[in-house]
Structure formats: structure tokens, C-alpha cells
Amino acid sequence: MKNILIYVFVFTLPIISAFIALIATYAQTLPGIKDTSYFHKLLTSEFWATLNVVVYIPYLRLANKYLNPAQLLLYGYLTSFAVQLFSNSYVFISPTSYDDYIAMIIMFGAMAVSAYKVFG
């Protein structure tokens, strides 16, 4: 049971972290942020960055115990690409271009080759 709980944390914390980064990006594009002071903008970005670090550091500490570096990086690419697709479709309502898909395919291919070459 303990291992299942750890794997749940390992696979959900980067998703939470990616959504925190998405919220931070969205907060910086709100119309009311243009009229605020520099200090308010700085506090807003630092708040979201701190919250992201609070989630991301435990993820890295847990994931390094159970995943090898190639798996860790591949899962990071996968979650960031999934959140990018979500944000393009539902938050920013902009189409995802073909070069995003091609870049992801190239990254997945390179990660697969490096995972098999380095880790057998």
C-alpha cells in the first residue's frame, strides 16, 4: 500500500506543478495586471513560483528514488506537453501548431533511444 501511495504522488505532483505554472502564466495575462504596480506583479509571480517549488521539490526527491533519470525526464516532457495541449485548448484558446507536435515526437524518440542505449 505504501508503494502505491508513493507512485500516486510521483505521478500526480508534476501534473499539479504544471498546472500551478499554467495558473501563474494565466494570472500574468489578465487585463487588470497591466495597471498594477511593479511590486504587485513581482509579488504575484513570486507567490506562484514559490508554490510551484513547494510542490516540485518533493516530487523530485520521491521520483529520484523510484525512477531512473530517463524515465523522470520523459515523464516531465509528457506532463508538460499534456498541460500545454490543455492550456492551448481551454485556457488560451489558441491552436496547437504542428511544430509543437513534431518537437514532442522528436523529444520522445530521443528519450526512447537514450533510455535503451544507456539503461539497456
pLDDT tens digit string along 65-110? 877 777 777 787 788 888 888 888 887 788 888 888 898 888 888 8
- In Å, how far from its chain's centre is CA 9? 14
Residues 62 and 117 in one domain: no
Residues 53 and 93 in one domain: no
Encoded amino acid at 18, one letter: A
Task: Taking the CA atoms of 99, 101, 21 and 54 in sequence, report the sign of the dihedral they define.
Answer: negative
Domain final position from 24, 51, 66: 66
Residues 1 and 24 in one domain: yes
Average pLDDT over residues 14-42: 85
pLDDT of residue 47: 92
Residues 61 and 73 in one domain: no
Residues 15 and 50 in one domain: yes
For residue 115, what are the domain limits? 69-120
CA-to-CA dists, residue 30 to 3, 41, 45, 88, 92, angstroms: 41, 11, 13, 16, 11
Residues 52 and 82 in one domain: no
pLDDT of residue 120: 56
**Mean pLDDT lowest among 47-51, 75-79, 97-101, 114-118:** 114-118
- Mean pLDDT taken over the chain: 82
Number of domains in the chain: 2
- pLDDT for residue 13 is more than 60: yes
Residues 50 and 4 in one domain: yes
Cell readout for 90 is 481551454
